[in-house]
Structure 1
């Protein structure tokens, strides 16, 4: 298989005059972008960086970040991106863990880098400064790939909840296989235009960047998510596909500007990162009327687990295994990959490690490998079940399972039910400690109009939700806590880290 540098060269040869990247008023063709990438690859070498070195980045989704990603692929460097909101101690941890040899930042992240003690001894380059501009604009020989398909391309860091983040190193061949699968599974056509808003420290953002290069597509940078700016770019650049987390879709379709923005160019929708409620699925299908609406279920470790390419037709379904994968559901607490759950039985989802898109183990974390990698399978920590049709339903995390009165209750099913009530804008369900029940099912609701506990309880009962699954408590909040990429943070609700509703909405 091609390494990623060679892959980009093929794109340049195939589509030299096509627009490859857009950032504000900047518009570059593949040939023009290759010249910038070549200049930066030369500059990286002149910094003393050698193939195999890790380069730490704290950057938003801007042209310079995307260019640095590609220059590292040519130079054989391992891009090691960190959430641009990271603090100094987090920067220090990654520098030490990855043995990073250089740090790239921008104005928004300069303070964090300055607060990191270990960064002081490394080259620190601001991409909005003169040094970086000199490298990227320099007249340099055309970049030649210095890595092969077996070299490391990228190391993402998973978000840590109770422990330090884990490095997920990925080879060129796995990255390209994932991008090819992304193109095929989303049925992208030649010359697609995508909104580059999912961060390039996240697997979804990287996949969007690589996938566009394979099809002569355009990556339209949106440094940080802003609904009005996103809608303006969709209209101006005639964006053809969106690949977002459910939270961002929610914010887009509920914004007043959506109704007056021309989004007719968007024909393909894809989502990942979290389950999408039935209510949001329905609203998006009605609002965009897309040709394709894909639920992509995967992870940083193994990009694709399953694909459902008609998400509204079977709400909640994550579909079947992707092109490069085999999926199983094993019993909760299973010792190995052959202790299979029955059809309809909730268990832990596992994925075959031999898949083309898979990582090979965590960076310097044998303890994490021992927990997650068993018998040639990756134990995802997600819960789910196969239905009678053979489709996978993801019900949550093993750690999120609510055991109430001896019954296992998945929060996702309850959230999907409540999301269909017209007064509910967002909802998250957790189990809170209870002396009698062990955990009591509790719904945290952001409401659009006034609605009370009794009305929502009656709605759940009338919907057919099993009695033991109905929330016994409701908390109305101003916002549901989420990660920077829109993942629901149930643990914060359990810990009491939320703000109760400051004022009830007007009557419905």
Structure 2
């Protein structure tokens, strides 16, 4: 954790009349950004209840509009904390996120109001930014300055972010990030990438994720750089935005890179100022394709909203490896049962891992971790901090030169389009289907990055799998998030069980798409379910081979 605060960085913008924040509708100078943050901090101070048990927390249920960074700045000035609320969540799960983080105020926009219909949110005041009522409410505070006194004194340890990250037990955990840690993360990226005050950071990843706030907004603020926003990621608008805003830096996830590469190539693909993208899960093949086509380098990293461990990709990193431990981290791959370090990986001449049984273990930070805990979740904190180490929950193996390779997740989590999902939560929803006698949900690797959702469904006696009825059932579930529907459905006569009568997920994952049972799939999220034929299997297999990834279910 650093000694500087985000509030100091916001105050530093005061008096700077260069362009500081833009989207397709709005242009603000740095000075106007600081002024807008101060006005919202003053409003927040007026509205936020005080007294025992009243945490100064607000939720942001917003697209990437200028209101999002303005409210982040407001919270920093006021000594409040922001919970980024994920708009892909639904129903009771969405309400749970808002209530769990003790939000007293929820800032949203008209497009998201239907998500709140009928939700039990007692005592929570909702502000709708694109309304006359909101503008009238904010108007009296227009003369506020960043140097005013607001809710409470701000220190480096003051809580600023509550960022949701999923776990294996279903309910997402809210990772705490202080002002000092966020300011230090921004400064570290400025130092690493040489960000300048004449750069423009393009934020197209959703700001309720740590990716956009920690790796894009914070370094822009630390460098005094400009920020350009896209409300939601759009592959077709990416290059026009980059050109229009003069963007030089952006953050990404692997799926976004895939979408960008799928756009039609033109002779003008390099007509821009973009020089660098920083993110995760693009993969070496797609990163090389991106640089060859667009002329901008992609830099891969591994990290988490918790801040417990980080890996940096450096020159010379082998294909398939993530990189080496970031400076200051003492990372090891440990056997959770023995706490001993796993031996180095051994590879065949073609790069196949030969000793997975002994080389794969959990990635652990044995050094000083910047993890600051989870909000109101001591059990999850205890699971992270064991035996004097920070346990990431991710499986890795390490080669003889110290390069780390990602091998999966230590519990039943899935990562779909960079959304962390809990298998148990999806299972609970799918189990409502009247034709299902049992359901198991598990991850299989995506051809490019992350996971796809696969479900094994055992049907009730006399029932048959009707793909249209199943799709209609999914569409009717109000709490089924947009990333949760299974891409693949394996129809099984019965779920495999272990000796202790638990679902044998290892066997399901191992069989994956090479299973003997009928499989139905959606080639795209909006497509109807159709049989996963041999022709479809071979077409998909070529996608995996093209990116040097093993086809799910093939023997390693």
Distance 1:461 1:83 in 2: 34
SS, match of residue 27 in structure 2? strand
Q: Does 1:347 align with 2:352?
A: no
Alpha carbons of 1:67 and 1:296: their partners in 2 closer, same or farther (altered >3 Å)? same
51-60 or 210-219, larger mean C-alpha shift: 51-60
What's the TM-score once normalised by structure 2's chain length?
0.70
Deviations 1:240-263 (A, max 9, x none): 112100111111121126664555
Normalised TM-score (structure 1)? 0.76
* Structure 1 pair 60–364 and aligned structure 2 pair: CA distance change class (3 A): same
Gaps of 5+ in 1: 402-409, 417-427, 475-508
Q: What SS does the corresponding residue of 1:191 show, helix, strand or coil?
A: coil
User: Pairwise mapping of residues 57-206 of structure 1 onto structure 2 (< 5 A)?
Assistant: 57-119=60-122, 121-134=123-136, 136-137=138-139, 138-144=141-147, 146-160=153-167, 162-206=169-213
User: C-alpha separation between the residues in 1 aligned to 2:63 and 2:540?
Assistant: 40
Give the equivalent residue in structure 2 for 1:419: none
**Does structure 1 conserve the Cα–Cα contact (< 8 Å) formed by 2:23 and 2:230?**
yes
Q: What is the CA–CA distance in structure 1 between the aligned matches of 2:70 and 2:92, rounded to whole Å?
A: 27
How far does residue 276 in structure 1 lie from its aligned partner after superposition?
2.9
Is the 1:178–1:304 Cα contact (8 Å) retained in structure 2?
no
CA distance in 1, matches of 2:543, 2:238: 35
- The answer to whether the Cα contact below 8 Å between 1:54 and 1:78 also exists between their aligned partners in 2 is yes
- 1:423 corresponds in structure 2 to none
1:285 is aligned to 2:295: no
Displacement of 1:382: 1.0
Does residue 373 (structure 1) correspond to residue 385 (structure 2)? The answer is yes
Distance 1:430 1:190, change over 3 A: farther
Q: Structure 1, residues 343-378: CA drift from partner, whole Å, max 9, x if none? A: 1122111124723xx232222222212322112322
The 3 A distance-change label for structure 1 pair 445 and 341 is farther
Name the structure 1 match of 2:304. Answer: 299
- Relative distance call for 1:393 and 1:151 in structure 2 (3 A) is same
Q: Secondary structure at the match of 2:135?
A: helix
- Would you say 1:45 and 2:49 are equivalent positions? no
| Match in the other structure for 2:253 | 245
- Deviation per CA, 1:426-445, whole angstroms, max 9, x where unpaired? xx999998899933243789
**2:545 and 2:551 in contact (8 A); partners too:** yes
**How far is 1:455 from its partner?**
8.1
Partner of 1:420: none
From 396, 404, 429, give the equivalent of 1:384: 396
Q: Which residue of 1 aligns with 2:465?
A: none
Q: Aligned with 2:238: secondary structure?
A: helix
* Equivalent-residue separation in structure 2 for 1:62 and 1:169 (angstroms): 23
- Partner deviation per Cα, 1:219-251 (whole Å, 9 max, x = no partner): 111111112222211111121112100111111
Structure 1 partner of 2:501: none
2:269–2:294 contact (8 Å) kept in structure 1: no
Q: 1:18 to 1:458 in 2, by over 3 A?
A: closer
Q: Give the drift of 1:66.
A: 1.1
Question: Once the 2 structures are TM-superposed, how far is the Cα of residue 461 of structure 1 from its aligned partner?
Answer: 9.5
Q: Which moved more, 1:19-28 or 1:262-271?
A: 262-271
Q: Which whole-Å CA distance do the structure 2 matches of 1:322 and 1:445 have between them?
A: 39
Instruction: Judge conservation of contact 2:61–2:86 (CA < 8 Å) in 1.
Output: yes
Matched length: 439
Residue 314 (structure 1) aligned to one of 315, 318, 321: 318
Distance 1:462 1:232, change over 3 A: closer
CA RMSD of aligned residues (A): 3.6
Which position in structure 2 is the counterpart of 1:501?
none
CA shift in 2, pair 1:451/1:277, >3 Å: farther
> Contact 1:395–1:412 at 8 Å: present in 2 too?
no
Alpha-carbon contact 2:282-2:448 (below 8 Å) kept: no
Deviation at 1:411, TM superposition (A): 6.7
Report SS of the residue matched to 1:212: helix
Provide structure 2 residue ranges, at least 5 long, that are not aligned to the other structure: 346-358, 414-442, 450-486, 498-503, 515-520, 525-533
Q: Residues of 1 paired with 2:229 and 2:548: CA distance? A: 44
Q: Deviations over 1:136-183 (max 9, x none)?
A: 554323123731111111111113554111111121111112222222
Deviations 1:283-336 (A, max 9, x none): 11311333x43111001111751111448x6332221222342211112x3354
Distance of 2:268 and 2:408 partners within structure 1? 36
Shift of 1:186: 3.3
Distance in 2 of aligned mates of 1:199 and 1:163: 22
